[in-house]
Structure 1
Amino acid sequence: MALSLDERLVQVVPSERQLRHQSMEFYGFIHFTVNTFTDREWGEGTEDSRVFNPTDLDAAQWAHAAKEGGMAGLILTCKHHDGFCLWPSRYTDHSVASSPFRGGKGDVVRELSDACRREGLAFGVYLSPWDRNCPLYRTGRDYDDYFIGQLEELLTGYGDIFCVWFDGACGEGPNGKKQQYDWERYYETIRRLQPNACISVCGPDVRWCGNEAGHTRPSEWSVVPLRMRNTEKIAHDSQQQDDEAFRERSITAGDLDLGSREVLQDEKDLIWYPAEVNTSIRPGWFYHAKEDNEVKPLEKLIEIYENSVGGNATFLLNLPPDTRGRIHENDVARLREFGAYLRDTYAVNRLAEASLSADVCRPGSSPEHVREDSLETWFSTPDGATDCRITMRWKQPISVSRVVIKENIRLSQRIERFELLARTKDGLTPVYEGTVVGYKRIAAFPAVETDELVLHILDARVCPTIAFIGVY
């Protein structure tokens, strides 16, 4: 008997590495290279290595600022498009070894990877396939050998790597030709040397959300067509030259729906491919002194966080060190504010004080399971019961403005539509209407005083699963 569409969709589930990655939720990017000292966003590859000369580099300060901001890890631009390496690569002289930094004995990758581990943060690497300095670029196999050599240095010399981040920039070489990247060879190298690392953006594990401004989709599906993983299309759609308008563009209307039943019904091949939202804490990806007073306001960071982490994606926030080699004081202050907001807002789950009941429940899958933030236990309904209510009651009214809902995504992404209702003097009143949940949905609404909340699942694929509910 053929499977129904919904039965087919819920067979698509994440790998363990994808689960680990999404559970990190919020982590940082460190953009740092010769561009920091030339005041540019993209280098030409012709810069003198001696221009790289941070006077007070403090990777411990970077890691501590990230930790205070609530981040779980940091990804370093070990080599950007200019080809300058932040570690002493044996494959090129265009690196810290030819700079005045630490007398030519420095290794920024080493310093940051060590600092991350001291702070309990994960460490990841960005390595640009486009290298505007390497004379082998656009020669095919010879350049791929060079790139693989550098990739192996990073994957074997700096401990566990949680993420290898590839973008799709692919410019022309000196002869007007472009390099055809051997993506599958790159992936094989990563899987062999760092099997737990996710390969992001131009990779099979985590997809780019489609813009660099922090904009999000109202319905972010992780079950999408296999063709979404087409790295050549990602490369084509990625930024090909420094362009401020590109950095600020939004998601196009045609890209808003990637995983609805209507989109997927005629798709033969499906994959689990969760989204990452990436943006910078200030307008540029690299540090520019003129932007010191243009750090994103706290309210904007909260909005992006609650729409990304709270919208079934992860949040990658860039923190560019300045020419000293330190995260600027304004950026650090904003991060500290944001970390305090997260800790204060989500510190106490008021669900602990509530009684729970459900109008329909799969045997052995009690609503009591949603109290613990875990994928080991969960609430569910029998197959086919796609409409259900979980009721939360308190002895005394409480103030509520945030409800966190998490599915058990080990069993795929199922919830299509839900609403939250709060009991007020006018009876049960809708306070929030949402579509997908996935890994996490943060339902944010104006504070309401209530002694009863109802999570009403209006539609789901086969049956809903709910692993956790938080009331704040």
Structure 2
Amino acid sequence: MKTNRVFCAAALLLALSACGPVSDTKTPDPRLDWWREARFGLFIHWGLYAVPGGEWNGETRYGEWIRSTARIPLETYDEFVHAFNPVHFDAEEWVSAALEAGMRYMVITTKHHDGFCLFDSKFTDFDIMSTPFQRDIMAELSEVARGRGLRLGWYHSIMDWHHPDYLPRRDWEDDRTADGADFTRYVAYLRNQVTELLTGYGNVDIMWFDGEWENTWKPACGRALYDLCLDLQPSVIVNNRVGGGRSGMEGMTRDGRYSGDFGTPEQQIPAAGLSGVDWETCMTMNNHWGYNKHDHNHKSAAELIRILADIVSKGGNFLLNVGPRPDGRFPKASVDRLREIGEWMKVNGDAVYGTQAGPFANLEWGRCTQKALDSGGTRLFLHVFDWPGDRKLRVPGIFNSPLRAVLMAAPGQALTVFRDEDAIVIELPRRAPDARNSVVALDIQGRPDISEPPVFRADHSIFIDHMDVEIVTDRENVDIHYTLDGSVPTADSPSADGPVRLEKTMTLTARLFREGKAVSGPASAEYRKVKPRPALIARGLRRGIGYEYYEGDWDRLPDFDRLEPVKQGTLDDFGFGPRDREEYFSFRYTGFIRIPRDGVYTFFTDSDDGSSLTIGPKLVVDNDGLHGLTEKSGTIALARGIHPIMAGFFEKTGHDELTVSIQGPGLKKQPIPRKMLYTNR
């Protein structure tokens, strides 16, 4: 993992707020068949970092990155080898915990970024055999997992802070020179260890790489390592972190130059799924991947059950993490949650295993997964998070005839089903059998024939003079009717035969009709008429952007006004040229931007780690926090002329990058041209 990242409740609610109608048609690949069926797996982060339990010099915020984030010298960290003695480790218990939770596979760290190996490697002494424990964890787990029918994968870090030939060094390691280091020798070491893992432990189902983002690891290295894995075990599947190109914590590869079989969103769920792509969300139960004895901020079992349903409803897999204690036991909070999830899976597992993404763009009450039936029909699994007070569960915009509906918790009791306009309605009992997620199995004739609400196409949600909004649908033989006051359209409402022109703030609502009857739910959006932010009268400006450079350790953008810059001056653009280190630094860029004409402009920051962009007093782009290369954007109406601009950026560890772009009237999306930037310094 890139670093400790807090997954807050707000982010979870945002991820759960959208459900896309995802095409789950993927390229056939027999290697992936079992993985696509499994849907749910256990991630384990374990190693020397469990010994301090997240605490160092009175600070309690650390996890598996503790050697780097706490800046522990190598010689000091090596002492953990003598303290790592997990006498309570029991492979049977770990495998049983996964299976009883309904998990079909397990992925465990063979080596994390600290370089310590949980297996017996002949290429290093920095491994489990140098500890008092002296038992090969991988050997014991592989034997038990194989015997119990649990698929097994190896996490293996490309980054290695311990090996003398790995580059780059951490910038705080003043006592470790890079003189004599040879990265090609390190690559040979890495390949030797991967060979050990794929030849010494029987069949391995997954190679799960990480730590690929530093600039020494090139795409060609990733392709060669991917090929090595398949040469050694042709049936193994490999994640996309084997090579560069991962787009931040969204976890998907940006273009086709890179290798890997599936994407790896981290601590997040793609809002609308990922059509035709294999992907797996990996997520912590609390705020850390590795064991932190002070971290009690656990997601509830109910949250985790709903997260599982959300991910599977969008066509993904869920890899849920546990960070074992240094004595080899799972923390009680993790055990309790795995047990609760397992109880739910015993009743509702068929709504998870082997299912495909649901066909609905949005369901107000929950999520949907589906399976094709041998009869030619389809079983829709309706995951009900919010039990309807009137006991009527509406499944909107579906043309298929319903055949039968039952609760998974009471499969022998058929529920009453009827049609109401575009919806299938199911009458439910007064109380939900499971307040966390009650699943209704609805059988329908044929493959799902879904009529989603129409879609609005507009450049922005704000405008200055007027705006034309297109209302479109991929349905045939339907009419689109709309209203401008937020009311639900009827067949007598105006017909959208072309773009709808808006000249003042309006709430546009549209719905599909066929032969005068509604055949979709309504779609609604507000479009606001705004005044452009006035320009400044500024004199004495010259080309460039002012900068202030800072050094420190942050997880979010600092309050620059409370800091003293290390240096300051003027640059041509948003560059890092003045920095004195590769990590643990920040920049604030301040100046002015010349806007060519009145209009609505979109600004973008694409950064690793966090960034922001402000025009005048308005925060336009919030791309803050610890993450890989991630782009976010925002819009603002600006008058022609000079406007204040401020961009913030910070880098903790790993790769660093910042691109600030603009798009607007007469300007295609591009990095802000130098000729548009000014300073009064």
TM-score over 0.5 (shorter chain): yes
Pick aligned residue for 2:87 from 28, 46, 55: 55
**Residue aligning to 2:231:** 192
Query: In 1, Cα distance between the equivalents of 2:47 and 2:250?
Result: 23
**Secondary structure of the equivalent of 2:116?**
coil
Contact 1:279 1:318 in 2 (8 A): yes
- Report the Cα offset of residue 98 of structure 1: 1.2
Matched, 1:284 2:277: no
- Report the Cα offset of residue 18 of structure 1: 2.4
**Residue aligning to 1:26:** 40
Query: In 2, Cα distance between the equivalents of 1:23 and 1:449?
Result: 18
**Secondary structure of the equivalent of 2:423?**
strand
Matched, 1:392 2:385: no
Query: In 2, Cα distance between the equivalents of 1:311 and 1:129?
Result: 30
- Report the Cα offset of residue 144 of structure 1: 0.9
1:118-140 per-residue CA deviation (whole Å, 9 max, x = no partner) reads 32101110110001000111323
**Residue aligning to 2:375:** 368
In structure 2, do the counterparts of structure 1 residues 208 and 310 end up closer, same or farther at CA, with 3 Å as the change threshold?
A: farther
Normalising by the residue count of structure 2, what TM-score does the alignment of the two structures yield?
0.45
In structure 2, do the counterparts of structure 1 residues 124 and 452 end up closer, same or farther at CA, with 3 Å as the change threshold?
A: closer
Contact 1:52 1:100 in 2 (8 A): yes
**Residue aligning to 1:6:** none
- Report the Cα offset of residue 457 of structure 1: 2.9
Query: In 1, Cα distance between the equivalents of 2:378 and 2:409?
Result: 18
**Residue aligning to 1:408:** none
* Cα RMSD, aligned residues only: 4.4
In structure 2, do the counterparts of structure 1 residues 74 and 133 end up closer, same or farther at CA, with 3 Å as the change threshold?
A: same
Contact 2:121 2:193 in 1 (8 A): yes
In structure 2, do the counterparts of structure 1 residues 158 and 14 end up closer, same or farther at CA, with 3 Å as the change threshold?
A: same
Contact 2:377 2:444 in 1 (8 A): no
1:279-300 per-residue CA deviation (whole Å, 9 max, x = no partner) reads 0122210111223x43321111
- Report the Cα offset of residue 199 of structure 1: 0.6
Query: In 2, Cα distance between the equivalents of 1:449 and 1:110?
Result: 41
Query: In 1, Cα distance between the equivalents of 2:153 and 2:198?
Result: 10
1:84-135 per-residue CA deviation (whole Å, 9 max, x = no partner) reads 011121111111121111xx3x101111111212321011101100010001
**Residue aligning to 1:117:** 146
- Report the Cα offset of residue 161 of structure 1: 0.9
1:372-400 per-residue CA deviation (whole Å, 9 max, x = no partner) reads 99xxxxxxxxxxxxx99442334xx7558
**Secondary structure of the equivalent of 1:305?**
helix
Query: In 2, Cα distance between the equivalents of 1:366 and 1:295?
Result: 38
User: Matches of residues 329-368 of structure 1 in structure 2 within 5 Å?
Assistant: 329-346=332-349, 368=375
**Secondary structure of the equivalent of 1:317?**
strand
Contact 1:302 1:338 in 2 (8 A): yes
Normalising by the residue count of structure 1, what TM-score does the alignment of the two structures yield?
0.63
Matched, 1:423 2:423: no
Contact 1:401 1:445 in 2 (8 A): no
Matched, 1:164 2:207: yes
Larger radius of gyration: 2
**Residue aligning to 1:210:** 249
Query: In 2, Cα distance between the equivalents of 1:143 and 1:451?
Result: 56
Query: In 1, Cα distance between the equivalents of 2:439 and 2:351?
Result: 16
**Residue aligning to 1:418:** none
In structure 2, do the counterparts of structure 1 residues 333 and 445 end up closer, same or farther at CA, with 3 Å as the change threshold?
A: closer
User: Matches of residues 304-323 of structure 1 in structure 2 within 5 Å?
Assistant: 304-323=307-326
1:140-167 per-residue CA deviation (whole Å, 9 max, x = no partner) reads 3211111000000000011111110012
Query: In 1, Cα distance between the equivalents of 2:228 and 2:318?
Result: 26
Q: Larger helix proportion, structure 1 or 2?
A: 1
- Report the Cα offset of residue 178 of structure 1: 3.9
Query: In 2, Cα distance between the equivalents of 1:123 and 1:308?
Result: 21
Query: In 2, Cα distance between the equivalents of 1:427 and 1:367?
Result: 29
Contact 1:25 1:314 in 2 (8 A): yes
- Report the Cα offset of residue 185 of structure 1: 1.5
**Secondary structure of the equivalent of 2:304?**
helix
1:5-36 per-residue CA deviation (whole Å, 9 max, x = no partner) reads xxxx9997232212332112111111100011
**Residue aligning to 2:541:** none
Contact 1:140 1:179 in 2 (8 A): no
In structure 2, do the counterparts of structure 1 residues 150 and 11 end up closer, same or farther at CA, with 3 Å as the change threshold?
A: same
Gaps of 5+ in 1: 1-8, 172-176, 213-223, 239-246, 261-271, 350-364, 374-386, 404-420, 433-443, 463-472
Query: In 2, Cα distance between the equivalents of 1:68 and 1:225?
Result: 33
The aligned length equals 348
In structure 2, do the counterparts of structure 1 residues 453 and 145 end up closer, same or farther at CA, with 3 Å as the change threshold?
A: same
**Secondary structure of the equivalent of 1:130?**
coil
1:158-182 per-residue CA deviation (whole Å, 9 max, x = no partner) reads 11111100124445xxxxx845471
Matched letter for residue 57 of structure 1: F
In structure 2, do the counterparts of structure 1 residues 367 and 458 end up closer, same or farther at CA, with 3 Å as the change threshold?
A: farther
**Residue aligning to 2:329:** 326
Matched, 1:303 2:306: yes
Matched letter for residue 15 of structure 1: D
- Report the Cα offset of residue 445 of structure 1: 8.8
Query: In 1, Cα distance between the equivalents of 2:273 and 2:249?
Result: 12
Query: In 1, Cα distance between the equivalents of 2:224 and 2:94?
Result: 33
Q: Larger strand proportion, structure 1 or 2?
A: 2
**Secondary structure of the equivalent of 1:94?**
coil
Contact 1:201 1:208 in 2 (8 A): no
Query: In 2, Cα distance between the equivalents of 1:259 and 1:118?
Result: 34
**Residue aligning to 2:163:** 134
Query: In 2, Cα distance between the equivalents of 1:52 and 1:449?
Result: 49
- Report the Cα offset of residue 368 of structure 1: 1.3
Matched letter for residue 280 of structure 1: T
- Report the Cα offset of residue 50 of structure 1: 1.5
Query: In 2, Cα distance between the equivalents of 1:208 and 1:14?
Result: 25
**Residue aligning to 1:456:** 449
**Secondary structure of the equivalent of 1:187?**
helix
Contact 1:203 1:229 in 2 (8 A): no
Matched letter for residue 167 of structure 1: D
- Report the Cα offset of residue 229 of structure 1: 6.1
Query: In 1, Cα distance between the equivalents of 2:26 and 2:144?
Result: 37
